[in-house]
Structure 1
Amino acid sequence: MSDSDNDDIDLVVNQIIMNNVKATELIKELFDNNLLQDEVGEPLNKRPRGLHKDRGHEEGHNKLVADYFAKHLVYNDVDFDCRFCMSRRLFLQIVNDLEREVDFFKQHWDAIGVKGFSPLQKCASAIRQLAYGSASDAFDEYLRMSETTSRDCLDHFCKGIIYLYMRQYLRKPTATDVQAIYALDEQTHGLPGMLGRIDCMHWVPGATNDIIVVNQSPIFNDLFENKAPDSSFVVNNTHYNHGYYLADGIYPEWTTFVKAFRYPIEEPQVHFKTRQESARKDIERTFATLKDKWHVLKYPARVWTQRKLTEIMYTCIILHNMIHEDGGFSHYPFDPTEVLLGEIETTISEEDRARNVNLVKNRERHANLRHDLSIHVWNSSSHANN
């Protein structure tokens, strides 16, 4: 190849480079000056806004009132309980409390005097989303509410429920509560010192199972830090410092867990295994009840943050307890003057905390507790008298 050919190639390459540089500079200048526009005169790099829809949200409020809250209503109390998962009385109490305490649920007017959504509409949207586990725009045609507004209603509703009712309906047990729980569980299942049942509602095999969850859980932090209320009890003439939870075989051998005998041999062990497994079924029924009533817990999550998932779970549990009390099934009356021990600021040395942890994780103490319980259950049963 001759020198002239090389010069021609270099000239062509330089010309292409110069043309590209000029084209890039021209496009940048057009964008900077907002000159590159589409056919309707909007910049191509600007996302067009959606058109405002006059949904007639006041019409949605009037229809909701006519259906469920008017003097001559369309749907009766049974229909209301089915669709809102609670009584009309409790629903109106929640609406009034939220309207009084949370600014989002107050009636507002915009700058041109148009009335906003009513507290009834906002609460109805949030509860329907929890009850049906549906998308935020599922009730647009009925409540005349957009997806964004419905999503905001659910978010503020969960925050409001937790703010107003958490201390009463999601509180840690007080000393009075502990004694009431002991009495009820011993009367029902014949197991003294039982605080409840423990299990994991959501887990994926091989990823997050019960044992991983309990090792990461702060459930026993109050016990480790001497903030838990007195829960001592006596069984088979032996004193124990704290109560326990019934658990299945995957849980560790701690004094806070009581598991059934895996291979029972003696009659008291066989009888205790039957009694323990029967009592432990309660938590499975509780999970089923929660998920059947609040389908948002049953279906894959529609929110993407851990905070919102936690708030939704707390809200469903609080509402479940409120509905339980509203139906007259509460066994533990709330005393607002009773101070929770965990609310008092206390300090504990690392040595004391380590000693408490070792006491809870004492395998010998765990075995002794299960043995004493099996003897107590056997002696209290009709089998011992035969």
Structure 2
Amino acid sequence: MDSSSSSSSFCVPPELDDSSTGSTFQFFNQVYAELEDTGTSSDTRGYIDRDREEGHAILMRDYFVEDSKFDEPFFRHRFRMSKRLFLKIVGDIEANFSYFQEGYDTRGKKSCTALQKCTSAIKQLSTGEADTYDEYLCMAARTGRESMEYFCDTVVNLYQKEFLRRPTSHDVALITQAHEERHHIPGMFGSLDCTYIEWKMCPRHLKGQYTRGDHKVPTIMIECVASYDLWIWHSFFGPAGKNNDVNVLQQSPLFQNERNGSAPDSSFSLNGHDYKRGYYLTDGIYPMWVAFVKAYPHPVEQDERKFKRLQEAARKDVERAFGVLKGKWKILDRPLRLWTKEKIKKVVTACTILHNMIIKDNGRAISPVHIMDPPVPRVYNPEANREIMDENVHHRLRYDLTTHVSALDLSFLDDPAMQSPSVASLI
């Protein structure tokens, strides 16, 4: 074998110098020193001394002192809510959770304040960016991510009972009355639809489960019920095949209350027929049940066309709700960089709760006060499924609604000034 082939096939170790003939300890010390000089050893991470007190002082001067640098419109634009609501949330969180309370590290320095942590969390939810506030808030990226996760946990624990509550009798009465006045459709609870969020950091073993044919990337579905004031009454989060029509309806608070015999009174009469419960306006993918009122797929008569046009106008409520939700909280509009479904669910739930809190704070909520129903014994109703899934009642209800709408003067549908406000004006 020639020298060229032998040199390509074998790796000849370098010859040791004279230092290897001496003490073994001295030899290894020399090799270790050479490795340090070449930079191949693992260096320790450098410490950055962040002036947290100065970051808190700058934040106070900019937004929270009496004569602040930025006024209320700037604050609403950057924090997506009023200063009054933001300070209330910070106070409630700081009073109930130790992570947001003042503390000291092992060097005796103060930790980031609750104001800094909540500001970082709100900024991440509203922009979808995680590592861009170190220079301003003097907070490391890891602390910022932890602050957002703890913030979502605390918001869900503190406010879920009120702002993602099951509709009570008081809520149902106000909702149906407001929808009849606005949309001229009696007995309407709200509109039901779904939206998709891209999951960028989806694990490899879950990509097939979370990828649909019309979406080339992994997505997670959110299905919500929204009323005219854009209040999201309940939402469901998960893969597309899990939250289908049947599962969503059976998990909905109204359906569970009806099966347990504790549903609020939502009966109404129309064209001489009595209906036991209200309904949701949906599109064509849902089944023909009493709980869903679908538009005519191929309207022929003038009355059917009129009803379909009115229903399409009313179903813009949930579309506007999705637009405002994603417009305020850009983390839902951009590919999510979270690793687990549990963390994503908490982020989605926290954004939904904050969305409803802002609606109440702005005075746009139809039912801003939570009035609880008196407790009633739960009695399972086995006939609830059969009554809700009755297609004959569905067709009769849609026909009665069509007849009712045809007798109304709905010329306002042709007037652009009478249309619902744009999404940009509501963000």
| Segment drifting more, 145-154 vs 210-219 | 210-219
1:371 aligns with 2:403: no
Contact kept? 1:67, 1:73, Cα under 8 Å: yes
Matching residue of 1:155 = 149
Read off the aligned partner of 2:319 and give its amino acid letter: E
| Structure exhibiting the larger radius of gyration computed from Cα positions | 1
1:52-80 CA-partner distances (Å, limit 9, x unpaired): 32121222111111111123321111111
1:334 aligns with 2:369: yes
Name the SS of the counterpart of 2:50 in structure 1.
coil
Aligned counterparts of 2:410 and 2:146: Cα–Cα separation in 1: 58
Aligned ranges 1:337-356 → 2 under 5 Å: 338-339=372-373, 346=378, 348=380, 352-353=381-382, 355-356=383-384
| Segment drifting more, 322-331 vs 218-227 | 218-227
Matching residue of 2:334 = 299
More helix by share: 1
Deviation at 1:211, TM superposition (A): 9.4
Name the SS of the counterpart of 1:249 in structure 2.
coil
Matching residue of 2:89 = 94
Contact kept? 1:68, 1:74, Cα under 8 Å: yes
Aligned ranges 1:230-245 → 2 under 5 Å: 230-245=265-280
1:216 aligns with 2:247: yes
Deviation at 1:274, TM superposition (A): 0.9
* Aligned length, in residue pairs: 336
Deviation at 1:226, TM superposition (A): 3.2
Contact kept? 1:248, 1:260, Cα under 8 Å: yes
Read off the aligned partner of 2:396 and give its amino acid letter: N
Aligned ranges 1:1-386 → 2 under 5 Å: 50-135=45-130, 137-202=131-196, 204-205=212-213, 213-217=244-248, 218-219=251-252, 220-335=255-370, 338-339=372-373, 346=378, 348=380, 352-353=381-382, 355-381=383-409
Q: TM-score, normalised by structure 1?
A: 0.81
For the structure 1 residues 333 and 381, does the alpha-carbon distance in structure 2 shift closer, same or farther, using more than 3 Å as the test? same
For the structure 1 residues 378 and 150, does the alpha-carbon distance in structure 2 shift closer, same or farther, using more than 3 Å as the test? same
Aligned counterparts of 1:196 and 1:90: Cα–Cα separation in 2: 27
For the structure 1 residues 345 and 125, does the alpha-carbon distance in structure 2 shift closer, same or farther, using more than 3 Å as the test? farther
Aligned counterparts of 1:267 and 1:167: Cα–Cα separation in 2: 45
For the structure 1 residues 382 and 346, does the alpha-carbon distance in structure 2 shift closer, same or farther, using more than 3 Å as the test? closer
- Give the fraction of aligned pairs with identical amino acids, expressed as a percent: 38
Read off the aligned partner of 2:176 and give its amino acid letter: Y
Aligned counterparts of 1:271 and 1:212: Cα–Cα separation in 2: 31
Aligned counterparts of 1:61 and 1:175: Cα–Cα separation in 2: 46
Aligned counterparts of 1:120 and 1:156: Cα–Cα separation in 2: 14
Name the SS of the counterpart of 1:199 in structure 2.
strand
Matching residue of 2:6 = none
Aligned counterparts of 2:267 and 2:151: Cα–Cα separation in 1: 39
Contact kept? 1:159, 1:311, Cα under 8 Å: yes
Contact kept? 1:244, 1:258, Cα under 8 Å: yes
Deviation at 1:112, TM superposition (A): 3.7
Read off the aligned partner of 1:359 and give its amino acid letter: E
Aligned counterparts of 1:359 and 1:211: Cα–Cα separation in 2: 24
Gap regions ≥5 residues in structure 1: 1-34
Deviation at 1:339, TM superposition (A): 4.0
Read off the aligned partner of 1:70 and give its amino acid letter: V
Deviation at 1:265, TM superposition (A): 2.1
Aligned counterparts of 1:105 and 1:211: Cα–Cα separation in 2: 36
Aligned counterparts of 1:74 and 1:256: Cα–Cα separation in 2: 52
Aligned counterparts of 1:233 and 1:205: Cα–Cα separation in 2: 41
Contact kept? 1:211, 1:251, Cα under 8 Å: no
Matching residue of 2:22 = none
Gap regions ≥5 residues in structure 2: 1-28, 198-211, 216-238, 412-427
Contact kept? 1:246, 1:276, Cα under 8 Å: yes
Runs of 4+ with >6 A deviation: none
Matching residue of 1:20 = none
Read off the aligned partner of 2:402 and give its amino acid letter: S
Contact kept? 1:174, 1:340, Cα under 8 Å: no
Read off the aligned partner of 2:405 and give its amino acid letter: V
| Segment drifting more, 321-330 vs 121-130 | 321-330
Matching residue of 1:18 = none
Over the aligned positions, Cα root-mean-square deviation in angstroms equals: 2.5
For the structure 1 residues 373 and 72, does the alpha-carbon distance in structure 2 shift closer, same or farther, using more than 3 Å as the test? same
Aligned counterparts of 1:340 and 1:249: Cα–Cα separation in 2: 37
Read off the aligned partner of 1:126 and give its amino acid letter: A
Aligned counterparts of 1:105 and 1:367: Cα–Cα separation in 2: 55
Contact kept? 2:360, 2:368, Cα under 8 Å: no
Contact kept? 1:109, 1:115, Cα under 8 Å: yes
Aligned counterparts of 2:289 and 2:367: Cα–Cα separation in 1: 27
